[in-house]
Structure 1
Protein backbone atom coordinates (compact mmCIF):
# COMPACT_ATOMS: atom_id res chain seq x y z
CA UNK A 1 0.00 0.00 0.00
CA UNK A 2 1.26 3.49 -0.83
CA UNK A 3 2.08 5.73 2.12
CA UNK A 4 2.93 9.40 2.70
CA UNK A 5 4.45 10.39 6.02
CA UNK A 6 4.92 14.08 6.85
CA UNK A 7 8.10 14.75 8.82
CA UNK A 8 9.80 17.77 10.34
CA UNK A 9 13.38 18.70 9.47
CA UNK A 10 14.85 16.33 12.06
CA UNK A 11 12.69 13.46 10.76
CA UNK A 12 13.82 14.26 7.22
CA UNK A 13 17.50 14.26 8.20
CA UNK A 14 17.10 11.01 10.14
CA UNK A 15 15.59 9.43 7.02
CA UNK A 16 18.24 10.78 4.63
CA UNK A 17 21.21 10.05 6.91
CA UNK A 18 20.93 6.27 6.38
CA UNK A 19 20.35 6.47 2.62
CA UNK A 20 23.17 7.28 0.23
CA UNK A 21 21.54 6.73 -3.19
CA UNK A 22 20.47 10.11 -4.51
CA UNK A 23 19.47 11.74 -7.75
CA UNK A 24 20.51 15.40 -7.87
CA UNK A 25 18.37 17.63 -10.08
CA UNK A 26 19.95 20.87 -11.27
CA UNK A 27 18.87 23.23 -14.03
CA UNK A 28 20.63 23.52 -17.37
CA UNK A 29 21.15 26.94 -18.98
CA UNK A 30 17.93 26.49 -20.95
CA UNK A 31 15.99 25.75 -17.75
CA UNK A 32 15.49 22.05 -18.43
CA UNK A 33 16.36 19.60 -15.64
CA UNK A 34 19.71 17.80 -15.42
CA UNK A 35 19.51 14.57 -13.38
CA UNK A 36 22.66 13.08 -11.89
CA UNK A 37 22.77 9.84 -9.88
CA UNK A 38 25.14 10.47 -6.95
CA UNK A 39 26.12 9.21 -3.51
CA UNK A 40 25.48 11.54 -0.63
CA UNK A 41 25.25 12.01 3.08
CA UNK A 42 24.22 14.50 5.74
CA UNK A 43 26.81 16.71 7.43
CA UNK A 44 26.79 17.83 11.06
CA UNK A 45 24.98 21.05 10.09
CA UNK A 46 22.05 19.12 8.55
CA UNK A 47 23.00 19.73 4.91
CA UNK A 48 22.96 17.09 2.21
CA UNK A 49 26.51 16.67 0.92
CA UNK A 50 27.71 15.29 -2.42
CA UNK A 51 31.29 14.85 -3.59
CA UNK A 52 31.97 15.74 -7.22
CA UNK A 53 34.39 17.47 -9.59
CA UNK A 54 34.39 21.13 -10.65
CA UNK A 55 34.03 20.32 -14.36
CA UNK A 56 30.89 18.18 -14.01
CA UNK A 57 27.58 19.49 -15.38
CA UNK A 58 25.92 19.32 -11.95
CA UNK A 59 28.63 21.57 -10.53
CA UNK A 60 28.38 24.13 -13.34
CA UNK A 61 24.60 24.12 -13.03
CA UNK A 62 24.65 24.56 -9.23
CA UNK A 63 27.07 27.50 -9.52
CA UNK A 64 24.73 29.21 -11.99
CA UNK A 65 21.48 28.37 -10.18
CA UNK A 66 21.73 27.29 -6.54
CA UNK A 67 18.12 26.05 -6.40
CA UNK A 68 18.34 22.25 -6.65
CA UNK A 69 16.31 19.18 -5.78
CA UNK A 70 17.48 15.82 -4.51
CA UNK A 71 15.56 12.57 -4.76
CA UNK A 72 16.67 10.33 -1.89
CA UNK A 73 15.90 6.67 -2.49
CA UNK A 74 16.18 3.51 -0.43
CA UNK A 75 18.30 0.56 -1.49
CA UNK A 76 15.21 -1.33 -2.66
CA UNK A 77 13.42 0.21 -5.64
CA UNK A 78 9.94 -0.03 -4.12
CA UNK A 79 10.94 1.21 -0.66
CA UNK A 80 10.59 4.69 0.86
CA UNK A 81 11.86 7.88 -0.81
CA UNK A 82 11.68 11.64 -0.41
CA UNK A 83 12.30 14.70 -2.58
CA UNK A 84 14.21 17.55 -0.96
CA UNK A 85 14.43 21.05 -2.43
CA UNK A 86 17.14 23.39 -1.27
CA UNK A 87 19.95 25.81 -1.93
CA UNK A 88 23.29 24.44 -3.06
CA UNK A 89 26.70 25.81 -2.16
CA UNK A 90 29.75 24.65 -4.16
CA UNK A 91 33.07 24.29 -2.33
CA UNK A 92 36.38 23.88 -4.18
CA UNK A 93 40.09 23.61 -3.39
CA UNK A 94 41.29 23.88 0.20
CA UNK A 95 37.87 25.17 1.24
CA UNK A 96 36.44 21.74 0.34
CA UNK A 97 38.98 19.49 2.11
CA UNK A 98 37.58 19.36 5.66
CA UNK A 99 33.96 19.26 4.43
CA UNK A 100 35.00 16.32 2.21
CA UNK A 101 36.31 14.60 5.34
CA UNK A 102 32.89 15.13 6.93
CA UNK A 103 31.25 13.82 3.74
CA UNK A 104 33.30 10.61 3.90
CA UNK A 105 32.48 10.14 7.59
CA UNK A 106 28.76 10.62 6.91
CA UNK A 107 28.77 7.75 4.42
CA UNK A 108 31.59 5.40 5.41
CA UNK A 109 32.73 6.26 8.92
CA UNK A 110 36.39 6.61 9.78
CA UNK A 111 39.14 6.44 7.17
CA UNK A 112 42.32 4.51 8.08
CA UNK A 113 44.54 7.45 7.08
CA UNK A 114 42.94 10.90 7.02
CA UNK A 115 46.05 12.65 5.71
CA UNK A 116 46.15 10.24 2.77
CA UNK A 117 42.45 10.92 2.12
CA UNK A 118 42.96 14.69 2.29
CA UNK A 119 45.86 14.48 -0.17
CA UNK A 120 43.82 12.30 -2.53
CA UNK A 121 41.04 14.92 -2.50
CA UNK A 122 43.61 17.63 -3.32
CA UNK A 123 45.21 15.52 -6.07
CA UNK A 124 41.82 14.77 -7.62
CA UNK A 125 40.70 18.39 -7.33
CA UNK A 126 37.40 17.35 -5.72
CA UNK A 127 34.50 19.70 -5.06
CA UNK A 128 31.71 19.37 -2.55
CA UNK A 129 28.08 20.31 -3.01
CA UNK A 130 26.27 21.30 0.21
CA UNK A 131 22.51 21.53 0.01
CA UNK A 132 20.53 23.27 2.73
CA UNK A 133 17.00 21.81 2.73
CA UNK A 134 14.25 24.41 2.42
CA UNK A 135 11.25 22.15 1.74
CA UNK A 136 10.55 18.48 1.20
CA UNK A 137 7.83 16.08 0.25
CA UNK A 138 6.35 13.56 2.64
CA UNK A 139 8.40 10.38 2.92
CA UNK A 140 6.59 8.15 0.47
CA UNK A 141 6.36 4.55 -0.59
CA UNK A 142 4.88 3.33 -3.83
CA UNK A 143 2.16 0.78 -4.32
CA UNK A 144 -1.57 0.70 -4.49
CA UNK A 145 -3.51 3.69 -3.17
CA UNK A 146 -5.01 2.98 0.28
CA UNK A 147 -8.52 2.86 -1.24
CA UNK A 148 -7.53 -0.31 -3.15
CA UNK A 149 -5.75 -2.07 -0.28
CA UNK A 150 -8.95 -3.52 1.19
CA UNK A 151 -10.07 -5.09 -2.10
Structure 2
Protein backbone atom coordinates (compact mmCIF):
# COMPACT_ATOMS: atom_id res chain seq x y z
CA UNK A 1 0.00 0.00 0.00
CA UNK A 2 1.40 3.40 -0.98
CA UNK A 3 2.05 6.14 1.57
CA UNK A 4 -0.15 9.13 0.61
CA UNK A 5 1.99 11.53 2.69
CA UNK A 6 5.21 10.65 0.85
CA UNK A 7 7.14 13.59 -0.61
CA UNK A 8 9.40 12.29 -3.42
CA UNK A 9 11.79 15.20 -2.86
CA UNK A 10 12.75 13.60 0.47
CA UNK A 11 14.31 10.62 -1.32
CA UNK A 12 15.91 12.91 -3.90
CA UNK A 13 17.50 14.97 -1.11
CA UNK A 14 18.68 11.85 0.73
CA UNK A 15 20.15 10.17 -2.38
CA UNK A 16 23.46 10.68 -4.10
CA UNK A 17 22.99 8.09 -6.84
CA UNK A 18 20.43 8.17 -9.59
CA UNK A 19 19.77 6.92 -13.09
CA UNK A 20 19.83 9.75 -15.64
CA UNK A 21 17.62 9.28 -18.69
CA UNK A 22 18.38 11.32 -21.81
CA UNK A 23 16.98 11.01 -25.32
CA UNK A 24 19.11 9.55 -28.11
CA UNK A 25 18.92 10.89 -31.66
CA UNK A 26 16.78 7.86 -32.61
CA UNK A 27 14.27 8.68 -29.84
CA UNK A 28 15.21 5.82 -27.53
CA UNK A 29 16.23 6.55 -23.94
CA UNK A 30 19.87 6.43 -22.91
CA UNK A 31 20.38 5.59 -19.23
CA UNK A 32 23.43 6.37 -17.11
CA UNK A 33 24.13 5.91 -13.41
CA UNK A 34 25.18 9.31 -12.02
CA UNK A 35 26.20 11.00 -8.78
CA UNK A 36 23.60 13.63 -7.92
CA UNK A 37 23.31 16.63 -5.65
CA UNK A 38 19.89 18.10 -4.90
CA UNK A 39 19.57 21.85 -4.36
CA UNK A 40 16.29 22.09 -2.44
CA UNK A 41 16.20 25.91 -2.53
CA UNK A 42 16.48 26.01 -6.34
CA UNK A 43 14.61 22.69 -6.78
CA UNK A 44 17.33 21.42 -9.10
CA UNK A 45 19.32 18.21 -9.47
CA UNK A 46 23.01 18.69 -10.26
CA UNK A 47 25.24 16.16 -12.04
CA UNK A 48 28.86 16.41 -13.15
CA UNK A 49 29.60 14.73 -16.48
CA UNK A 50 32.27 14.68 -19.16
CA UNK A 51 31.94 16.55 -22.45
CA UNK A 52 31.61 14.16 -25.38
CA UNK A 53 29.86 11.34 -23.49
CA UNK A 54 26.53 10.09 -24.82
CA UNK A 55 24.50 11.79 -22.09
CA UNK A 56 26.19 15.14 -22.72
CA UNK A 57 25.79 14.89 -26.49
CA UNK A 58 22.13 13.91 -26.06
CA UNK A 59 21.45 16.85 -23.71
CA UNK A 60 23.09 19.34 -26.06
CA UNK A 61 20.74 18.14 -28.81
CA UNK A 62 17.61 17.77 -26.63
CA UNK A 63 17.89 19.44 -23.20
CA UNK A 64 15.25 17.37 -21.45
CA UNK A 65 15.98 14.66 -18.91
CA UNK A 66 14.73 12.60 -16.01
CA UNK A 67 16.57 11.20 -13.00
CA UNK A 68 15.18 8.20 -11.14
CA UNK A 69 16.08 7.49 -7.53
CA UNK A 70 15.42 4.24 -5.65
CA UNK A 71 15.80 3.56 -1.92
CA UNK A 72 18.22 0.85 -0.78
CA UNK A 73 15.35 -1.52 0.00
CA UNK A 74 13.72 -0.92 -3.39
CA UNK A 75 10.35 0.04 -1.94
CA UNK A 76 10.61 3.79 -2.36
CA UNK A 77 11.28 5.62 -5.60
CA UNK A 78 11.18 9.13 -7.00
CA UNK A 79 11.58 10.60 -10.47
CA UNK A 80 12.47 14.20 -11.30
CA UNK A 81 11.86 15.47 -14.84
CA UNK A 82 12.60 18.75 -16.50
CA UNK A 83 14.64 20.99 -18.73
CA UNK A 84 18.41 20.92 -18.41
CA UNK A 85 21.10 23.54 -18.66
CA UNK A 86 24.73 22.59 -19.20
CA UNK A 87 27.62 24.67 -17.88
CA UNK A 88 31.05 24.04 -19.35
CA UNK A 89 33.43 22.64 -20.06
CA UNK A 90 35.66 25.37 -18.76
CA UNK A 91 39.03 26.26 -20.23
CA UNK A 92 40.41 28.12 -17.19
CA UNK A 93 40.70 26.62 -13.68
CA UNK A 94 39.41 29.87 -12.17
CA UNK A 95 36.63 30.38 -14.71
CA UNK A 96 32.90 30.45 -13.93
CA UNK A 97 32.32 26.97 -15.39
CA UNK A 98 34.77 25.44 -12.91
CA UNK A 99 33.39 27.62 -10.09
CA UNK A 100 30.02 25.92 -10.72
CA UNK A 101 31.67 22.49 -10.40
CA UNK A 102 33.34 23.59 -7.15
CA UNK A 103 29.92 24.52 -5.77
CA UNK A 104 28.54 21.14 -6.89
CA UNK A 105 31.38 19.36 -5.06
CA UNK A 106 30.91 21.43 -1.92
CA UNK A 107 27.18 20.70 -1.83
CA UNK A 108 27.75 16.98 -2.27
CA UNK A 109 30.97 16.24 -0.42
CA UNK A 110 32.14 19.33 1.48
CA UNK A 111 35.61 20.77 1.18
CA UNK A 112 38.18 19.25 -1.18
CA UNK A 113 41.71 18.71 0.19
CA UNK A 114 43.29 20.44 -2.83
CA UNK A 115 41.07 22.87 -4.73
CA UNK A 116 43.83 23.79 -7.20
CA UNK A 117 44.18 20.14 -8.19
CA UNK A 118 40.39 19.72 -8.40
CA UNK A 119 40.04 22.79 -10.62
CA UNK A 120 42.85 21.60 -12.90
CA UNK A 121 41.26 18.16 -13.26
CA UNK A 122 37.86 19.68 -14.09
CA UNK A 123 39.47 21.52 -17.02
CA UNK A 124 41.61 18.60 -18.23
CA UNK A 125 38.70 16.13 -17.94
CA UNK A 126 36.42 18.59 -19.77
CA UNK A 127 33.79 18.33 -17.03
CA UNK A 128 30.32 19.79 -17.56
CA UNK A 129 27.75 20.59 -14.88
CA UNK A 130 24.19 19.55 -15.68
CA UNK A 131 21.41 21.38 -13.86
CA UNK A 132 18.02 19.69 -14.11
CA UNK A 133 15.30 22.25 -13.36
CA UNK A 134 12.56 20.11 -11.83
CA UNK A 135 9.25 20.64 -13.63
CA UNK A 136 7.61 17.42 -12.46
CA UNK A 137 8.42 15.08 -9.60
CA UNK A 138 6.60 11.91 -8.66
CA UNK A 139 7.15 8.63 -6.83
CA UNK A 140 5.86 6.25 -4.23
CA UNK A 141 6.73 4.78 -0.88
CA UNK A 142 5.33 1.27 -1.03
CA UNK A 143 6.26 0.23 2.51
The TM-score, its normalising length taken from structure 2, stands at 0.84
Instruction: Describe the superposition over 1:31-88 as per-residue Cα deviations: whole angstroms up to 9, x where unpaired.
Output: 11111111110246332111111111000111111111110223x1424220111111
| Distance change (3 Å), C-alpha of 1:137 and 1:90 | same
Aligned residue among 81, 103, 106 for 2:77: 81
Tell whether 2:99 aligns with 1:98: yes
Aligned residue among 20, 43, 50 for 1:46: 43
Larger Rg belongs to: 1
**1:89: Cα distance to partner?**
0.9
Tell whether 2:27 aligns with 1:26: no
Aligned residues: 137
Residue matched to 2:65: 68
Residue matched to 2:141: 141
The TM-score, its normalising length taken from structure 1, stands at 0.80
- Say whether the 8 Å CA contact 2:98–2:122 is kept in structure 1: yes
Q: Which runs of 4+ in 1 moved over 4 A?
A: none
Residue matched to 1:146: none
Residue matched to 2:93: none
Q: Root-mean-square deviation (CA), in Å?
A: 2.0
